[in-house]
Structure 1
């Protein structure tokens, strides 16, 4: 039986006690300042009990407690160290300061929307808010797995965030790609030509390039098999998702560049295609600073950005225009230009879902001729022949 009763506390204050019997037959209570608040909460609680979605507040963990369990599970699943570090930052810097003390049972859809509003008012970017809310959703998912929560208030949440930035990736032009390939070829080490050609024509992520092994290059079948990656800590590990395991065809140009480089490549226990000088995992910073950035700067492919000089004064410096990931985008754009459909692009790029493919490259699948015909058709229907 569910009731709301007036109670006088030892201090003399009057409170309203809502009581009900949970699904396990245990009597539960919660105190309110006003009777109407207790009745409203009791109505919602009874509704959740009928649907099997209620977790008593007394057994519900706080967000901080549930977050700690989620991080522990991430470690148990042996996720990459940098991935776990990112999740910890989401919790420590963005989740716990605002709602860490709240119980999961108190976080409804409106409460999650209010949390997102708090993040925005505190100056978090739209992209950061999205990432933090995904981490909060993962906390709830892990809590449901443990039987500590029965709800998923972040699922389908409409954050209504400002979308002012152009979501399309910056892609090198064909002239810039040609200049980069020419610059890489001109360098003394054959390493750079092989690296740039694999990146441009196979679309590997930087971590996949750094973790690529010679045993994954099938010269007879003319294939690269993407089977592992190197993380930011220089550790070899699994790929980002099941879809990232893939095989990619090699053109004669790329194949010959790899054959040439293999004769000179430093040997190491890991058998890497693009190692450092002693055969170990090369850092991303070295790939940029020692080769890819100088290649662009020599070719005049540059950008301007602000920096601080030795005296702390703001100055404008010239830097390389692109990171290695831009070559992956360029590869996707070339494949799309050759007529590959979205599903093929998803497979070749190793995207975990078709949504990722469309979110990143959807604008490249446009049909300009069809768009032009549609525009002319609208004019014709509206104005007739003029």
Structure 2
């Protein structure tokens, strides 16, 4: 049972008036909360009465702060054996963004306005849109974890996710986010042959398999079947070089290989850098191991996991510049940066390795007459290792042929009417 009563009390500055809500929570404990206006008190009383009936109410005295909830959540993530890179990312979200801005806020006061204000403050700090989204996802996970443990009654961050889903994301554009077929052809030509460097086999495999950078870095020869012309994706390597399973269950997949990739990998398997053993030769130098299935397909010069930064800065970006897939480098004012000779500095057009994955997806989707494979969404999902076909359609749905252009409509009409 709950009641709203007017209260008056004496202070040093005179009489004060407020409205107090008295109620009994679902554990049978008496609770009270004071408001300045009767309207606020009545609104709270209506809400709390419903929450107590549903068994979801959490009194302010029984909750924790966002910072405390974050620590509890992070402890749970650690206990579940999350990868070191994942833990580092979550810790940075918590320590650099969440705790400084709303760490002292009680979960019961983290409503929609507080969530919106937090997001606005992140943007005001100059946090990138992609990082803002990642931090908000972490905050939502923190509150959901607290909700499951009875520390709050609702997750206002999820309301933000529903209302803002897809709002800030523009469709991927060919030539801006996705390399064009002409650019890919130029890039392949610029890679030379296997004997000229280790970037050709890696970049060709990325172009024609759509594998994530972490999956390529963790790929071993045991998962490459050159006779059957396919790759089995079974693991990935994080930023620390530690191995783990793919991002999701759907990430475990088999990808068919094109002839150019098969032939390139056959050559590469003869000369790739083997890891060093503990044995030393007569000059005291460590020996390299013989070829084994457990060896990495695309290792660094020592035969160990390659760094993503090296792949980008020494492989992908220089190859683009050599191929003419480039743009003038611009300063903060949008003006071309000039070198010591007064000539414009040229930089790679696509800075993210994921652009090759985007190209692969578009190649799977495009019609055969456009040089693509014309596959249906379900097969595209399987090849990319997406957790659901909904995810595939959210990212690439606009690339699929509409099937209702004038010529196709005319052909369908003729087929139906027998004309």
Report deviation, 1:253: 2.2
Matches within 5 A, 1:299-338: 299-306=323-330, 315=338, 317-322=345-350, 323-337=352-366, 338=373
Is the Cα contact below 8 Å between 1:211 and 1:229 reproduced in 2?
Answer: yes
Name the CA shift for 1:162/1:141 in 2 (closer, same or farther; >3 Å). Answer: closer
2:383 pairs with 1:348:
yes
1:254 counterpart (255, 258, 261):
261
After TM superposition, the score normalised by the length of structure 1 is 0.86
User: CA contact under 8 A between 1:185 and 1:192: conserved in structure 2?
Assistant: no
Stretches of structure 1 that go unaligned for 5 or more consecutive residues are: 377-386
The residue number in structure 1 matching 2:404 is 370
Q: How does 1:264-283 map to 2 (within 5 A)?
A: 264-268=271-275, 271-283=295-307
Q: Distance in 2 between matches of 1:353 and 1:237?
A: 21
SS of aligned partner of 2:347: strand
Out of 160, 167, 171, the residue aligned to residue 167 of structure 1 is: 171
Bigger shift: residues 284-293 or 52-61: 284-293
| Separation in structure 2 between the aligned mates of residue 374 and residue 296 of structure 1, nearest angstrom | 37
1:184 deviates by 1.6
> What is the number of equivalent residue pairs in this alignment?
371
How far did 1:223 drift? 1.9
Deviations 1:140-195 (A, max 9, x none): 11112323223222334354599577431511122221122122234634532221
Contact 2:21 2:32 in 1 (8 A): yes
Residue 331 and residue 162 in structure 1: after superposition, are their counterparts in 2 closer, same or farther (change >3 A)? closer
CA distance in 2, matches of 1:278, 1:125: 35
1:139 aligns with 2:142: yes
SS in 2 for 1:98: helix
**2:60 equivalent to 1:57:** yes
- Residue 268 to residue 121, structure 1, CA distance change in 2 (3 Å): closer
2:3 maps to 3
Q: Is the 8 A contact 1:7 1:17 kept in 2?
A: no
Question: In the aligned structure 2, how far is the partner of 1:150 from the partner of 1:161?
Answer: 23
- In the alignment, structure 1 residue 20 sits paired with structure 2 residue 23: yes
Q: State the 1:112 CA deviation.
A: 3.0
Q: Which residue of 2 aligns with 1:222?
A: 229
In structure 2, the partner of 1:380 is none
**Would the aligned equivalents of 2:194 and 2:201 in 1 still touch at CA under 8 Å?**
no
Q: Secondary structure at the match of 1:155?
A: helix
1:5-154 equivalence runs, <5 A: 5=5, 6=7, 8=9, 13-120=16-123, 126-154=129-157
Cα deviation for residue 126 of structure 1 reads 4.6
1:317–1:88 Cα change, 3 Å:
farther
Q: Which residue number corresponds to residue 202 of structure 2?
A: 195
Please, what TM-score do these two structures have when normalized by structure 2?
Answer: 0.79
Partner of 2:305, secondary structure, is coil
Q: Deviations over 1:239-290 (max 9, x none)?
A: 2122111111122321221111111112238510000111110111211222
**200, 221, 243: which one aligns with 2:250:** 243
- Aligned ranges 1:284-295 → 2 under 5 Å: 284-295=308-319
Q: Are residues 1:358 and 2:387 paired?
A: no
Structure 2 residues not aligned, in runs of 5+: 277-293, 339-343, 367-372, 411-419
Aligned CA RMSD, in angstroms, stands at 2.8
CA contact (8 A) 1:126 1:161 kept: no
For residue 138 of structure 1, give the secondary structure of its aligned residue in structure 2. Answer: helix
For residues 302-337 of structure 1, give each alpha carbon's deviation from its aligned partner in whole angstroms, at most 9, with x where no partner exists.
1222359xxxx9655211222432221111111112
The secondary structure found in structure 2 opposite 1:154 is: helix
Kept in 1, the 8 Å contact 2:328–2:337? The answer is no
